Amino acid sequence: MTKKLSKQGRFRGYASVFNRIDAHNDVIKPGAFTDSLKKRRIALLWQHSISNPIGKILEAVEDSFGLLVVAKLNLELRLAREAYALMVDGSVNALSIGYKVVRSEKDSKSGIRMISKIDLWEISVVTFPANEMAKISKIKAATPL
């Protein structure tokens, strides 16, 4: 993974990775975000705190791997500058999602919940993601990510 510094605070990464068991014993299936992404702007928060927005999601798309996002920190905010510093030095390098499950099935033997539809509310920059593959992959300037 490469990290490139940016005074603009832009970054990208996977907020969720498909077909992977997370810390809550959930698996998010491809297509789970499709309807939700059309419905509303998704908030960008710090550590899932609704009182701590730190920027905005510029783009969120599902690809074959997961939910890829491009976001921009609002560096006018003290907390966003602190988050940016932690992201640049690698202390914080993960993303996580806040959502409501709309449709799922639970496997009675394994206890794994297969989530096929999600109502996505927010994406957070976090220290400890539920899905360990949900990582920030680039921190870059205003050039295309």
Residue 39 belongs to a domain with what CATH number? Answer: 3.20.16.10
Q: Give the range of the structural domain holding residue 45, as residue numbers without chain letter.
A: 10-134
Structural domain includes residue 21: yes
Structural domain includes residue 96: yes
Q: How many CA atoms lie within 13 A of 85 on its CB side?
A: 6
Structural domain includes residue 70: yes
Structural domain includes residue 2: no
pLDDT for 111 beyond 70: yes
Give the active site residues. Answer: 48, 96, 122
Q: Is 107 helix (H, G, I), strand (E, B) or coil?
A: coil
pLDDT for 11 beyond 80: yes
From residue 120, alpha-carbon distances to 5, 8, 85, 90 in Å are 29, 26, 27, 26
pLDDT at 40: 86
pLDDT at 6: 55
Q: Give the pLDDT band (50/70/90) at residue 140.
A: low
Number of domains in the chain: 1
pTM to 2 decimal places = 0.88
Mean predicted confidence (pLDDT) in 50-57: 97
Computed over every residue of the chain, the mean pLDDT equals 90
Structural domain includes residue 139: no
pLDDT for 145 beyond 70: no
Structural domain includes residue 1: no
Structural domain includes residue 143: no
Q: Give the pLDDT band (50/70/90) at residue 28.
A: very high
